[in-house]
């Protein structure tokens, strides 16, 4: 199963998700979106595939900044903001043949992968997942 993670190595949630995938034996394609940036097409696809609103896809500080655009449904302003500020989007997003999820919390990952690491499995902060 092809698996892609949109990863920010500076984010503990993203690091946990990538480690979970690795420990489960999943060979994921890692997209370092802070380096490569986003495309409008990818952003729209993530929104469609997850069924999330822009407000739920954006980090809290970004959604406050874009409140008027969100309230008015002005997708182009939101997309332009993310294109120029890639860190504004929540993370990590993971895509598999079973779907796409914002893996925040990490347990959302369990909805789209069959593989599991050896239990018990803990986040880097010591929170139990399995």
Q: Average pLDDT of 15-32?
A: 97
Share of the chain above pLDDT 90, in %: 92
Q: Which residues fall within 8 angstroms of residue 32, CB to CB, at 6 or more apart?
A: 7, 8, 9
Q: Which tokens sit at 82?
A: 């993310």
Catalytic position from the list 4, 6, 9, 11: 11
pLDDT digits over 59-100, tens only?
A: 998 888 899 998 998 999 999 999 999 999 999 999 999 999
**Phi, psi for 51 (deg, rounded to 5):** 75, 10
The verdict on whether 11 is a catalytic residue reads yes
Cα separation values, 106 from 20, 78, 82, Å: 9, 25, 23
Residue 51 to residues 4, 28, 45, 127, Cα–Cα distance (Å)? 18, 22, 10, 27
pTM for the whole thing?
A: 0.93
Rounded Cα distance between 99 and 121, Å, is 23
Q: What is the mean pLDDT of residues 34-43?
A: 96
CA–CA distance, 16 with 44 (Å, rounded to integer): 25
Tell me what the mean pLDDT of segment 18-34 comes to.
97
Note the CATH number of domain 4-111. Answer: 3.40.30.10
pLDDT at 62: 86
pLDDT of amino acid 65: 85
CA–CA distance from 66 to each of 31, 43, 97 (Å)? Answer: 25, 16, 32
Q: Where are the domains of the chain?
A: 4-111
CA 35 → CA 19, 43, 51, distances in Å? Answer: 20, 16, 26
List, edge to edge, every strand of the sheet that includes 99-102.
29-32, 4-7, 93-96, 99-102
């Amino acid at each position: 199963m092809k698996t892609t993670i949109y990863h920010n190595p500076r984010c503990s949630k993203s690091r946990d998700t990538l480690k979970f995938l690795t420990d489960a034996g999943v060979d994921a394609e890692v997209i370092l979106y802070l380096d490569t940036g986003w495309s409008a097409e990818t952003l729209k696809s993530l929104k469609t595939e997850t069924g999330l609103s822009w407000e739920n896809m954006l980090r809290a500080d970004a959604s406050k900044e874009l409140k008027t655009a969100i309230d008015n449904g002005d997708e182009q302003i939101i997309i332009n903001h993310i294109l120029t500020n890639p860190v504004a989007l929540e993370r990590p997003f993971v895509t598999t043949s079973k779907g796409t999820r914002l893996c925040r919390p990490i347990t959302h990952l369990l909805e789209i992968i069959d593989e599991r690491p050896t239990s018990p499995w803990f986040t880097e902060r010591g929170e139990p997942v399995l």
